[in-house]
Structure 1
Amino acid sequence: MPKQTGSTEKALIEQVQKKISAAAAEDASQEIPDTKPFEGHSYIKKTWTDTEDGVERVLLNVALGHMNRPPNWEKTEVYEMMPEWGTLPLQRGWVIRIPTHFEGEEKYLLHYFFVSHYKDGTECISQNYTELISPRFIQFVDHSGLYTHVKLHWSLDNWAYPQNTELEFEGIEWGSEYSVSRAPYRQGDRLYERGRAGIIMKAPTPRIFRGIIWGPHKEKVDYCFNLITIDQTGKLVSKWDNNEGLNYKLTI
């Protein structure tokens, strides 16, 4: 077998390195998918009150749809409402997880209706309900210049189902290396935290953090802020801004 020359060996090494780099890039793209700003899910609790005796179970039927179009009930998802024992009359509830975007649109319609099943085998179908799901922009102004992360702790329907949305610093592009979109994949990564802090701390005060939440149009939201900074040892330290126990309120 003929001996390979140095240039041939170098070419082979370069080919292998390119393949390794391409594979690593592919793995990274799979681990950290590209998303639209604040794309994810929101949670809405639906309730039903038994107005008569003999109700065995209640089913919640849900379908998503585009604005100005009729609902497509062929794509209905069905959930059994859970009894909330101790309430009188008996209430039943279920938390729906809805997307922030529906088929690429940030505004869409949530259609739903209830079906009551009785112990005697009969059933009763409610009217159809429709709600407009829309985004609501929110911001936090950091006058102190201390914080590297600002998390919005919020809920619809008087804290029926609390959830968290991390706000993005206005000087960091969504999806970039130090964006909050990377935070779920870089928990405990000091390089990430220091890099993010380095960008934020160079910015003049006041510093603005912005985010988007989704929910039914005109629905009231209760919220507060979880504020995070880095201490001298590199540890993350958090505090709460809940309007001195009163929390904050807004309408979607």
Structure 2
Amino acid sequence: MVRALMTTQHFQGRVALITGASSGIGRAAALAYAARGAHVVLAARRESALRDAAREVEALGVRALPVRCDVTSEEDVARLISETRDAFGGLDFLVNNAGLGLYGPVEGFSEAQLRQVFEINFFGLVRVTRAALPLLRARAPGSQVLNVSSVLGHRGLPLLGGYGASKAAVNLLTESLRAELAAEGIRVLLVSPGLTETEFRDARLNAEGWRQDAIPLNAMSAEAVAQALVRASHRERRETVLTLPGRAMVLANRLVPGLFDRVARRIANPARKP
């Protein structure tokens, strides 16, 4: 009970901006921060779903500001930050969650597909973070940037190299940004989910002729990932790798990379071109 109270006090009346907030992990994160008393700025491209998510947030007794935003658009991002400033004056938590997947071999996906994935997963994250820094500085020390990565950003798997590369770029950028902002009291955190049950797989790009069947593994729920984000935020945990298989994969790659290469090839075997 005491721990729950302390957690709530950490977020009460503060402001969280979440990208990709209309569904999946982003929507669950918006509700998780709101449940602890934070006001929430919800950013996403799908206006109808975004308004629905905002109503769910407001039902928890906090303010919600839905802003249609494509993170690949400088104009949209500038408007997102302007509306956040007008509504709240500052920003305590920036959750960079918007993302796009890519499936297929390196020789199979197009350069245009890869650029699209990097434009959202990496450049979009950079674009929003840079624009939000003045608002985060207004609430420092104690404000945070939380970057949602993936276990695939720590270890590549066959047929997921394009997506994993974009997340590996996020991981390295996070380390650099953490060091750059530490003296200002802005914390930069990394959360890396494993397989998660969302619309993400349905929306991702596929190399021509490739499509992945259902994976015979237990997936995390979006709500579980959102709770992990809130815990990382509360504890200011620098890096969180989610799921036991995810942590095992990262550890195995570090300790026995050659062995894990063979395991990775076997994981990919069922997913062949039709």
**Alignment TM-score, normalising by the size of structure 2:** 0.22
Higher helix share: 2
Higher CA-based Rg: 1
Which structure dedicates a bigger proportion of its chain to strand? 1
> Normalization by structure 1: what TM-score?
0.24
